[in-house]
Every structure is written in structure tokens, then in C-alpha cells.
Amino acid sequence: MAELLLAILGFFILIQLFYYLFVFTRLIGYKQYSEPGPDAPAVTVLVCAWNELENLQELLPLLDAQEYPTFEVLVLDDRSTDGSHDFLKKHVFGWDHVRFIRIDTEVKHITPKKYALSVGMKHAQYPIALMTDADCRPVGNNWISSMVAQLTNGKDIVLGFSPYMKKGGLLNWFIRCETFYTAVQYLSFARVGWPYMGVGRNLMYKKSLFFEHKGFYTHKGVVGGDDDLFMNQAATPDNTVINLDPESFMYSVPKTSWGSWFTQKRRHLSVGKLYKPKYKTLLGLLSGSHVGLWLAGIACLVHGLLNQDLLLLQILGGAFAFRWLVQLIVLGGINRRLDRTVGAHTFIFMDLAFFIYYIFMSLMMFRKPKKETKWR
């Protein structure tokens, strides 16, 4: 029995080590461009907003102050009732780069945010579209410049990083952990040649690519997926590049309640079901081996204690210690590049938290979700 448990444990550890040593490490020494070339293209920044008055008041001056030759900020005011429209009408002429479009109606068979973005794409003046949300804040005035700098050698898509702001509490810590680990996955996968998603809070692509793939047509009725499903459809190893430049980071305001965060994550996971089979398999192996490793470890621990098998317990401890050491080295190196989003001293707790999270979310995905009516 002990031999079988160790064989299972070893199998899952090997899968984990493959991802850590041959995929995730691609981010640690990644070199990239830091400044746009002399023929930097003009850019349209698209900001979707549904009742985001306070966020728009903070974000728009920051976007208007970006240091870039030619750009516009196009706010898509989607049926807001909180005074956003009046605010935009009053202040738009005081900015150099901001304009807005008011969207007053919903359209059948397409979710509101995807419709708003589609309208924005049609009205964008410039060939490069850079997406963010109203509750985001750029690190500085070189956000646009840094993202455009990556559009070299025929690249059409730039995947940016969007961490959440650091606040107190367990929820905020886990949100930052989950965002960090998700970024490790989609950024390193893209480096290997497996681009499968981006985050709409910090995502750039050519407008021509959007229309070439008929926008969000293939998933127009799916709540969410304006970023990851479109990337799953349009991104290729040849047209996609990542951006790890600290000046490109776009911070976002995190959820403050477990309920709102859970609703958001459940929607994201349901969208993942629509990924291409290749990416569902790769991601399933990663999360499945994580869960399997912990379950096998718990089984080894119980068996070793009940049978007083000291050798089994020593091998178990050594196996987990080795994997945690690899995690510390690899994730620590990436974490330093991603503005130390997570404290390295919490990596072991993060590892355990993801084991619980994967099991919990897997069980909850079997429950029928309530109908969502909120704007996305």
C-alpha cells in the first residue's frame, strides 16, 4: 500500500515539476522592449463603465495625462444612472484626450459589456485598442507607451498584468494570490507558445484583429469572456507577446466581500469550460495534479501514522519540502518581476489555499447558478 501511495504521489509531483521548471521559469529571465519605436501607432483606450462615477473621476485624469504621442480615451457609458453621463458631459472638454459614447439600450443575444466594447471598436479612431476597466489605475504615465513598445515583429496582441491593490484581510490576500498565480499561468503559457487568455483590465490588440475574428460573435451570449474567450479564439504563438514591464501594470480595486468575489470567480470558471480542448487539458492537468498531490500526501500521512511507517513519513516530508523549495525559487523569481504581488513567506499557505479552493470551486460548479442580471 505504501509503495502505491508513493507512486501516485511521485506521479503528481512530476507533473507539477514539469510546469514549474519548464513552463513557469520562462518568465524569470524574460527580456522585452521598454520603449516604442519611432513609428509608434496611435492608440484608442477603451473604458467600459456602468455606474462607475467615482472610479471615472479618479481614472480619467490619470489616462488623460499619459505620455504618448497620439491617443484617445473612449469611455463607453453603458446606461449609467449614477450621474456618470452628466459628469462626462461637464468635464470632457477639459481633457485633451477623452471622449465618450452613451449607450442607452440593451441588445438581444449579446451581453451588455460585449455590446459596449463592440460599439467602442467601431467608433475607435485609431488602429490599436487598449482595454481597461473603470476601477483600474495605471502605475504611472507610461502605461500606453510600455504596452505599445511590445508591438514589434508583427505582433498583434499584448498581454498585460493587472494586480489588485493590497489591503488588509484574508480575502484580499487570497485575491492577490489567485490573481498572481493566474498571471503566472497565462503569461508563461504565452511564452511557451500556448496563449489562451488575457485580462480585460490590461489588454491590447489591433482593431483589425477584432473584426477579422468577427468580434465576440462566437460567444456573444456568454456572460464574461470578452477577454479570455476572445484571446482563446484569436491569440496564436506568432501574434502574441507579454509585458512584464512594471510601468505597464494596471492596478485594480479588489472585491471586499466573499459573496461578490465568489460570484465573479464562478463566472470566470464557467467561461473556462469554453476554452479550446488543448488549453482545458493543460490547465486541468495543472490544477488536477495540485489537488492530487495534496490528496496523495494526506493519504501517505494517514497511512504512515497508522502503521508507524517512519520511512514513508520521511519520504513524504522530503517530497513536499523539495516541491516547496522549487515553488519558492520559481514563484519567488516571478513575484519579484510582478511587483511582489504576494509575500514570498506565504507561498506554502497559498499552496494549501489553492488545494482547498480547487476542491470547493469544483463542487460549487455543479450547482446551478442564479441568473445574473448585473452588467458585465
Mean pLDDT split into 10-residue runs, the chain, 376 residues: 92 97 95 77 96 96 96 96 94 94 89 92 96 95 95 92 94 96 97 95 96 88 83 94 96 90 81 90 96 96 94 95 97 94 94 95 68 47
What is the number of alpha carbons within 13 Å of residue 344 lying toward its C-beta? 17
What is the number of alpha carbons within 13 Å of residue 201 lying toward its C-beta? 20
Confidence (pLDDT) at 373? 44
Confidence (pLDDT) at 149? 93
